[in-house]
Amino acid sequence: MYTLGEFIIENRDYFSYSTEELLRLFSSIKLASKAIHKEVNKAGLTEKIIGSSGITNIQGENQQKLDNFAHKAFIESFKSRNVVCGIASEESKDFIVINNKKENPLQNQYIVLIDPLDGSSNIDVNVSIGTIFSVYIRKSPIQMNVTIEDFLQRGNQQILAGYIIYGSSTILVYSIGNGVHGFTLDPSVGTFYLSHHNLSFPKEGKIYSINEANYTKFSNGIRKFIRYCQENKNKENRSYTARYIGSLVGDFHRNMIQGGIYIYPKNASYPEGKLRLIYECNPIAFLTEQAGGKASDGKRRILDIEPKKLHQRTPFVCGPTEMVSKLEEFMDNCG
């Protein structure tokens, strides 16, 4: 069986930058994810890791104890590997400058954007949660400190994107532009082994994932698409099945394997959408396209949107190309 490190080395020709640095990036990701895996598997046995921390984060959401643990785990892990020059986290108001190599402190060229713990409201009820990450090459001169422009890059500039899902098993899924590959953690030896090679969306999906409790707040186009999904049309091989976890990583992982569309549109409560463009939507959109699917905000390609601020929100749709295109058709015709 391929380990993650062996697979990276075997496929190093697909990565345009240093293989050694890519391995160090993944070393940071693996270390933090294994620490989170350990804590997730102890949830319910200790009050130190479940429940609210009593803090409201920059998103205006109640921060869970495990949110804070995951944020600190990834920040410290990336700092210790001396491979990135800046990190932006969904849990932080501002980006973090990494400058810890004494002889040449500004030489690192990688920017990391991360949602340390997606779906944290599911922690206390033992439902799948995840980490979402993406990596860019800095735009500012290497002799200078990083700037906000280094983090506000379009998603089509990503050189690496992925997620870790903590569920019945812990799986790391990533792409460097040569398809999507998944590695399952064997906790007995602490190693990620290749378990999902060249993941791709089934051409025809059978699942739609949306919080239908917000139905009355959706636009006409979204409501009509939901009714379209619910219609029983044998000749068109419909109707679809509704599946919604409330964790982007969990819903996306299932839909990519089984075939389905994920929808988080704008609504009356979130007129700009709820999901964060650079921490959640861009990396998941990158993986979607690498898996043969399509990702948009209902009208335009997610990866072409130019971010204006760190915590920018956007409507988000991703899944098999035909399903996403059909939703966009409803949006064009009905608004």
Domain identity same for 101 and 54: yes
Amino acid, res. 31: L
- Which burial class, exposed, middle or buried, applies to 30 when counting CB atoms under 10 A from its CB (0-12, 13-18, 19+)? buried
**Nearest Cα to Cα of residue 92 among 122, 115, 112:** 115
For 54, residues 6+ apart whose C-beta sits below 8 A from its C-beta are none
Q: Given the DSSP bridges, would you call strands 260-264 and 207-209 parallel, antiparallel or unpaired?
A: parallel
pLDDT of 72 above 80: yes
Among 103-112, 196-205, 243-252, the minimum mean pLDDT is found in: 103-112
Amino acid, res. 306: E
pLDDT of 23 above 90: yes
**Nearest Cα to Cα of residue 327 among 232, 316, 83:** 316
Q: How far is Cα 127 from Cα 270, in angstroms, rounded to an integer? A: 25
| Range(s) of the domain holding residue 180 | 4-198
Domain harbouring 243, CATH code: 3.40.190.80
Amino acid, res. 325: S
Domain identity same for 194 and 63: yes
Examine the fold and report which residue of 198, 217, 246 is the final residue of a domain before the chain moves on.
Answer: 198
Domain identity same for 120 and 183: yes
Q: How far is Cα 124 from Cα 127, in angstroms, rounded to an integer? A: 8
Q: In the prediction, which pLDDT does 62 show? A: 64
pLDDT of 44 above 60: no
pLDDT digits 0-9 by tens, 138-156: 999 887 889 999 999 999 9
Domain identity same for 97 and 221: no
**Nearest Cα to Cα of residue 91 among 310, 313, 316:** 310
Helix axes 282-290, 248-258, angle to 10 degrees: 10
Instruction: For residues 250-262, give the mean pLDDT.
Output: 97
DSSP codes of every residue in 176-236: SSS-EEEEEEETTTTEEEEEEEEE---SS--EEE--GGGGGGS-HHHHHHHHHHH---GGG
At residue 48 the predicted structure's pLDDT band, cuts being 50, 70 and 90, is low
pLDDT digits 0-9 by tens, 285-319: 999 999 999 999 999 999 999 999 999 999 999 99
Domain identity same for 102 and 20: yes
Quick one: tokens of 98? Answer: 């990494």
> What pTM does this model have?
0.93
Instruction: For residues 203-228, give the mean pLDDT.
Output: 94
Say if residues 87 and 116 touch (Cβ distance below 8 Å): no
Q: Given the DSSP bridges, would you call strands 110-118 and 160-166 parallel, antiparallel or unpaired?
A: unpaired
Instruction: For residues 246-275, give the mean pLDDT.
Output: 95
Say if residues 22 and 15 touch (Cβ distance below 8 Å): yes
Q: In the prediction, which pLDDT does 49 show? A: 62
Q: How far is Cα 136 from Cα 307, in angstroms, rounded to an integer? A: 14
pLDDT of 45 above 60: no
Domain identity same for 165 and 103: yes
Domain identity same for 31 and 133: yes
Domain identity same for 225 and 249: yes
Domain identity same for 186 and 86: yes
Q: How far is Cα 90 from Cα 158, in angstroms, rounded to an integer? A: 17
Domain harbouring 70, CATH code: 3.30.540.10
Quick one: tokens of 323? Answer: 């399903």
At residue 262 the predicted structure's pLDDT band, cuts being 50, 70 and 90, is very high
At residue 52 the predicted structure's pLDDT band, cuts being 50, 70 and 90, is low
Domain identity same for 180 and 242: no
Quick one: tokens of 131? Answer: 């980490």
3-class DSSP string for 12-42? HHHCCCCHHHHHHHHHHHHHHHHHHHHHHCC
Number of domains in the chain: 2
Q: Which residues pair with 192 in a beta bridge?
A: 185
Is the four-CA dihedral 21, 139, 158, 317 of positive or negative sign?
Answer: positive
Domain identity same for 142 and 211: no
Domain identity same for 102 and 127: yes
Examine the fold and report which residue of 150, 174, 198 is the final residue of a domain before the chain moves on.
Answer: 198
For 123, residues 6+ apart whose C-beta sits below 8 A from its C-beta are 40, 43, 50, 64, 66, 117, 129
Describe the strand order of the beta sheet including 293-296 as a list of residue ranges. Answer: 241-242, 207-209, 260-264, 316-320, 293-296
Question: Residue 238, SS3?
Answer: coil
Amino acid, res. 238: R
Examine the fold and report which residue of 198, 227, 249 is the final residue of a domain before the chain moves on.
Answer: 198
Q: In the prediction, which pLDDT does 195 show? A: 97
